[in-house]
Structure 1
Amino acid sequence: MTTFPTMDPELAAAAAMLPNLDFADLTTARERFTAMTEAMLAEVSYEGVTWRELAAPGPEGAPDVPIRFFTPPDAARRDALPTLLWIHGGGFAIGQAKVDDPFCIDLVRRLGIAVASVDYRLAPETPYPGPLRDCYAALRHLHANAAELGVDPERLAVGGQSAGGGLAAGTTLLARDRGEVPVAFQLLQIPELDDRLETRSMVEFVDTPMWHRPNAVLSWQYYLGGNGTAAGSDAEVSPYAAPARAQDLRGLPPTYLSTMELDPLRDEGIAYATALLHAGVSVELHSFPGTFHGSSLLATAAVSARGAEEVIVALARGLQVERSSS
């Protein structure tokens, strides 16, 4: 693997131990990712939160969409809770909602909000628009059943990481255009947004840890399926699939967007934040130095801890809630 002089020393020490998730062998990539995350989840405490599984009616002809719904234990005695619809990452092709249980639990403990973590169907078995429709179905379910679930329908945020960030951006675009669910805030962490794969960071970063151009090419090919091809294609690709293609970003909610310095997705995230600003959307953008895609998994690194705290601050502001100090 290439050596990157600007990589944060704390991250560099651990980068070599991370698994090789080669999307050319998707079965093995899924197995390695599951093994890595199962070890992490074995240490998770669910103390201080309540969770249950919801089933949102799926898109027409599709199965129901599972949602892991986390709330404070005293939610029944509170006013309607601000709620985050959270969408996990994994290049559209690997991962499960439960992988992000630690993140969801921390948000509930720190902010006293509800978090709904959606288990969308994965590509290539279910290409676009299936995963996006699952995420939108989950959002509609939260809004339609707000009273029963104890959700504040006026304080719904949509967020995600990596491919989940791209799905979050697409879901928020769809919500704006359909006018069925008001989204108060979007949280886009290291989002995968552009199937054209033409930015400088995407062209240059072919051997970065966790995520690189070869995986990105395959990720988009899996996701787009018969609707288009990745890597500079002129095929008609919907902006709901690849939000970087959206021509009109007006009317979208306030946004927090983060990128990592040594990430092929870096420049498309920065470009999307800039386009939002040009459309009159309030945006906070942070590109973390010395980091790589998924380096936040190395939570003991100081830069990872700083990024995690920023998410708490941004969501507290976006959903108008007070945050706990721990």
Structure 2
Amino acid sequence: MAVLLALLGAPCLLFLGVGLWVICSCFFTADIPVGIGHPVKLRVLHCALQLFVAWGMILEKLRICSMPQFVHFVHDLPPFIKDPDVVVTDLLFGTIPVKLYQPRRTSRSLRPGILLFHGGGAIVGSFKIYHTICCRLCKESDSVVLIVGYRLAPQHRFPVPIRDCFAAATHFLKSLDMYGVDPARVVVCGDSAGGGVAAAACQKFMDRSDLPKIRAQLLIYPTLQVLDYQLPSFQQNKNVPLITLDFAFLCMSYYLDVSPQWKNAILKGAHMPAHVWERYRKWLDPENIPERFKKRGYRPVARAPLNEAAYLESDLLLDLLNSPMLAEDEVVSRFPEACIVSCEYDILRDNSLLYKKRLEDLGVPVTWHHMEDGFHGALNTLGMGCLQVPCATRILRVMVQFIKGL
């Protein structure tokens, strides 16, 4: 009996121990700024995410499954909640799963088409997590929404996920008439890593004469460059949930197969030679960021001397599929109209600010909305009941209004 009790008690103690460790870690290391309107909700969300990550890491060490696989599994546990106003269809574009959302009521005219690439750092994210967002966006903007279920790292590293997205986009653009989509109003949309894919898609398809032109890009706190980690927002928000600097680097290492041993070199800028920094300085210079975004604290830091080994291991950071903001002016100047949503308490905030300036300087129309109380991942609280934050509703409203205005 004692042996049996020990066998039963050990997992319980382990579960409680991991939970207590995660909660204490979250309280002592997470930075919850006073400007966030619902700090308790953010803290609960952060603790839950970190608990999933911690258990995922344990399972990964035991070689049962990878951490992203476990987090993905947990995220997919809640059931789909049907919306009576939306028709949802599961499709396969070749081997790529997609989910199509169409308003149930009929329309005499063609509708806008939204090609949505979900976020999650290319390691998590799924149809279920974005189901509520897609339903609301579909019916409130009276649009056809297609979300792509691209393959994820670490099982499928770069460039597999982004190739899946481009393949699905090509199939969708060739089949617009089947779904009642106006070929003159096709929008690429994405949040976080998905926002980066959307921006890269603008470049990928701009010269395709056999496909309808992309009308606009709708980017929600997008990942537009993975080269420079010394921008003001990275300093100010490095410990702000839901995506801390450590977690962002973890996502990148899974996706691009960058060894964690180069973390310090990359964060200090030692992974690129001086001529590379000089080449991109005009686009990544913090001087391009308005001063009001530096008031919460920013200290320019000299880049560390070049680490040759880190440079050889991190060349993928310069790939325009990963850093679409680094494309040449003659390319970016041909990008379609953009709507960009940034959040104040987000390490990726300055990506949006720098991209906005580049587009405006090159004559590309930009609609910009900044959520003063927003944090990375806020949109995903939509439909989470008591954990939903008001910022999520405002972001959705921005998206709907932009689509309706096209």
Structure 1-normalised TM-score? 0.85
Secondary structure of 2:405's counterpart equals helix
Residue identity matched to 2:323? A
How big is each residue's C-alpha offset from its partner over 1:85-117, in whole Å with a ceiling of 9 and x where there is no partner?
011110111111332111111122112210001
Residue 302 (1) aligns with residue 390 (2): yes
Secondary structure of 1:35's counterpart equals helix
Residue 261 (1) aligns with residue 288 (2): no
Match of 2:240 in 1: 208
Question: Which residues in structure 2 correspond to 1:124-135 (within 5 Å)?
Answer: 124-135=154-165
Q: Answer yes or no: is the 8 Å Cα contact 1:140–1:181 preserved in 2.
A: no
Q: Residue 137 and residue 206 in structure 1: after superposition, are their counterparts in 2 closer, same or farther (change >3 A)?
A: same
Match of 1:8 in 2: 36
2: CA distance between counterparts of 1:178 and 1:221? 32
2: CA distance between counterparts of 1:290 and 1:280? 29
Of 162, 168, 186, which aligns to 1:156? 186
How big is each residue's C-alpha offset from its partner over 1:181-235, in whole Å with a ceiling of 9 and x where there is no partner?
4100111001112111232212443321110111111222222237xx8734332
How big is each residue's C-alpha offset from its partner over 1:286-306, in whole Å with a ceiling of 9 and x where there is no partner?
221122111233444333322
Residue identity matched to 1:31? F
Secondary structure of 1:195's counterpart equals coil
Secondary structure of 2:113's counterpart equals strand
Residue identity matched to 1:140? T
Match of 1:221 in 2: 253
Residue 277 (1) aligns with residue 304 (2): no
Q: Residue 165 and residue 139 in structure 1: after superposition, are their counterparts in 2 closer, same or farther (change >3 A)?
A: same
Q: Answer yes or no: is the 8 Å Cα contact 1:142–1:151 preserved in 2.
A: no
2: CA distance between counterparts of 1:149 and 1:67? 13
How big is each residue's C-alpha offset from its partner over 1:65-93, in whole Å with a ceiling of 9 and x where there is no partner?
11101112244x63332210011110111
Of 82, 87, 91, which aligns to 1:45? 82
Q: Answer yes or no: is the 8 Å Cα contact 2:30–2:241 preserved in 1.
A: no
Q: Answer yes or no: is the 8 Å Cα contact 1:129–1:241 preserved in 2.
A: no
Match of 1:314 in 2: 402
Q: Residue 218 and residue 285 in structure 1: after superposition, are their counterparts in 2 closer, same or farther (change >3 A)?
A: same
Residue identity matched to 1:193? L
Residue identity matched to 2:328? Q
Secondary structure of 1:170's counterpart equals helix
Q: Answer yes or no: is the 8 Å Cα contact 1:20–1:29 preserved in 2.
A: no
2: CA distance between counterparts of 1:307 and 1:103? 11
Q: Answer yes or no: is the 8 Å Cα contact 1:132–1:171 preserved in 2.
A: no
Q: Residue 166 and residue 207 in structure 1: after superposition, are their counterparts in 2 closer, same or farther (change >3 A)?
A: same
Residue identity matched to 2:230? E
Instruction: Give the % identical residues.
Output: 26
Residue 190 (1) aligns with residue 217 (2): no
Deviates more, 1:299-308 or 1:132-141: 299-308
Q: How many residues align?
A: 307
Q: What's the offset of the Cα at 1:128? A: 2.0
Q: Answer yes or no: is the 8 Å Cα contact 2:98–2:146 preserved in 1.
A: yes
Secondary structure of 1:258's counterpart equals strand
Q: Which has the higher helix share?
A: 2
Which structure: larger Rg? 2
Q: What's the offset of the Cα at 1:3? A: 4.0
2: CA distance between counterparts of 1:36 and 1:96? 8
Residue 141 (1) aligns with residue 171 (2): yes
How big is each residue's C-alpha offset from its partner over 1:123-161, in whole Å with a ceiling of 9 and x where there is no partner?
222222211111111111112112223222221110011
Of 315, 322, 325, which aligns to 1:244? 325
Unpaired segments ≥5 residues, structure 2: 1-28, 61-65, 273-314, 383-387
Q: Residue 218 and residue 2 in structure 1: after superposition, are their counterparts in 2 closer, same or farther (change >3 A)?
A: closer
Q: Answer yes or no: is the 8 Å Cα contact 2:378–2:391 preserved in 1.
A: no
Secondary structure of 2:88's counterpart equals strand
Aligned CA-pair RMSD: 2.5
Q: Answer yes or no: is the 8 Å Cα contact 1:173–1:240 preserved in 2.
A: no
Q: Residue 32 and residue 136 in structure 1: after superposition, are their counterparts in 2 closer, same or farther (change >3 A)?
A: closer
Unpaired segments ≥5 residues, structure 1: 58-63, 319-326
